[in-house]
Amino acid sequence: MTPVFADAFYFFALLNPADAAHEDALAFSAESAGPILTTDWILTELADGLADPQNRQLCVEFISELRSRPDVTIIEAQRELFDAGLQLYSERPDKGWSLTDCISFVVMQQKGITEALTGDRHFEQAGFVRLLK
């Protein structure tokens, strides 16, 4: 079964009850039995966003839980993926895509993934289906 790609948008929505996409993220989690794929760069983005001391332990525990789940694959940070993401980043000066987004797009293309757990419209601009809107 082809996994869905989990963007930081999805993880932030899961962890924050005040997030506008919280209910949709919870609903997906409750209904889906399929595999999820994400990257170390997405988890770095998540940790950066939860850097406030009151959120750090939550973030550490959440990432630890993700790492232990058999249905979650986390692609490790590799120079080759970074370089491929940077190449895409440099080729699309017309877009507001972050480097992390570009690395995600490269991973999705390499793995044949078309759907992303995100509300970020940049994924649609890159030709993917965003599952949270």
> Residues 2, 36: contact at Cβ < 8 Å?
no
Sign, CA dihedral 75-27-114-87, equals: negative
> Residues 10, 117: contact at Cβ < 8 Å?
yes
Q: What is the pLDDT of residue 129?
A: 97
Place of tokens 């980043």: 89
| pLDDT band (50, 70, 90) for residue 120 | very high
Instruction: For 30-79, write each residue's pLDDT tens digit.
Output: 888 789 999 999 999 999 999 999 999 999 999 999 999 999 999 999 99
Q: At what angle do helices 99-111 and 79-91 cross, to 10 degrees?
A: 110
Give the 3-state secondary structure percentages of the chain, helix then strand then coil, rounded to 5.
55, 10, 30
CATH number given to 4-130:
3.40.50.1010
State how beta strands 36-39 and 72-75 pair: parallel
Distance of CA 20 to the CA centre of its chain: 17
